[in-house]
Amino acid sequence: MTEELIDEGIDNYRKSAAFTDAEKVALEYSELMQFAPEKIDAAFYGRLREHYTEAEIVELGAFIGFNVGYHTFFRTLDFYPMFSPDGSLVSQEESRRIYGEQPTSHLKGALDRATAGTGDQQQEGGE
Amino acid sequence: MSVIEPIERDLALQQGLGDFFGSCEKLGVSDELFPRILGHVPGYAEAIYEAMYQSHALGNVDHSIKEIIRIQLARHAQDPYFSALRSKQALAAGLDEERIDAGSGDFENDPQFTAAEKWALRYSHLMYRDPAKIDSAFYEEGKEHFTEAQIMELGGMIALHYGMQVFMRTLHAHPVEQPED
């Protein structure tokens, strides 16, 4: 696993040769869960079943849901990793300088893909 | 019932989920469907259900305000399953549908909620609509009403329940004993 592959999995997984069809549908599952869950219908679960067992789908879905819930909460707490990429213990201020801008750098592409053709983002239509 | 069918009840009992079914029956949130869906991955069923129960039914923040928050979030997630369920513990303590609806409405201007309750409701309301507004000043205001432990209890409960509500929404699941919409 490299940073380049992580970025590819967020920014370009649909066209990338680095991922299998099974991996691509798992990445799409994650992207849609956060940004357009209304697109995850029975047909989408049918696509997942072409590659995964029911148990594996539940494992993926609950894992994704857990991360959707918690990462937004963690964001509000404004905390950063204790260690730099080389393993050194760093202050929160230093860690913010090292990591601070990275988490949001890829969101727009994922959001644009997930909401393409739907008009509004799901979160706006909640209640 | 759900895009992912729950495992058979007997299999769930063999996996040791019987104690959770007792909690489901006693509290009402969730019913047996949720742990039986998670039962496809037994380790998940135990860990996630237990964490959801701990954060919702136990702890040091009033259960009734957490129940209002849980339903507010489920409605935002557009999840018919968790939106329809009600905590028997909260109902027994006097929580009613009018107060639940008020918690999803104009709670800021509603005199039935205390300043502490309004902060807690605002916390969950903003978390998945406008999290940038939950900044250090927002948390400082929260500390006027809650301890840091209580704020973590609320934040963890909000994150876990919302995440599972979004997942259940995609399964198009409905409560076992409720009519489907």
Q: What is the pLDDT of residues B27-73, one digit of tens each?
A: 999 999 999 999 999 899 999 999 999 999 999 999 999 999 999 99
Closest Cβ opposite residue A76 in set B134, B156, B165: B134
Its sign, for the CA torsion B20, B23, B24, B30, is negative
Angle of CA points B107, B110, B113, to nearest 5°: 80
Cα–Cα distance for residue pair A71/A77, rounded to 1 Å: 10
Q: Which of B33, B81, B38, B71 is nearest to B180 (CA)?
A: B81
Three-state secondary-structure class, residue A89: strand
pLDDT band at A84 (very low <50, low <70, confident <90, very high): confident
**A48 touches A57 (CB < 8 A):** yes
Q: What gap in Å lies between CA B90 and CA B29, rounded to an integer?
A: 11
Partner B contacted by A57 (CB < 8 A)? yes
Give me the residue label for tokens 């994650």.
A30
Average pLDDT over residues A105-127: 54
> Are A68 and B163 an interchain contact pair (Cβ–Cβ within 8 Å)?
yes
Structurally, at CATH architecture level, domain B9-171 sits in Up-down Bundle (1.20)
Within an 8 Å CB–CB cutoff, is residue A62 touching chain B?
Answer: yes
pLDDT of residue A127: 33
Interface predicted TM-score (ipTM) of this complex, two decimals: 0.93
Helix axes B148-171, B136-143, angle to 10 degrees: 120
pLDDT digits (tens, 9 = 90+) for A30-53: 999 999 999 999 999 999 999 999
Measure the CA–CA gap between B81 and B33, rounded to whole angstroms. 10
> pLDDT tens digit string along A51-82?
999 999 999 999 999 999 999 999 999 888 88
- What residues of chain B lie within 8 A of the CB of A62, using their CB? 38, 41, 44, 48, 164, 167
Cβ-contact B36, B12 below 8 angstroms: yes
Interatomic CA distance for residues A13 and A9, integer angstroms: 5
Q: In chain A, what residues touch B160 (CB-CB under 8 Å)?
A: 66, 69-70
Least CB-CB distance to A127: which of B104, B161, B165? B104
CA nearest B103: which of B175, B90, B92, A75?
B90
Under 8 Å between Cβ of B30 and B82 = yes
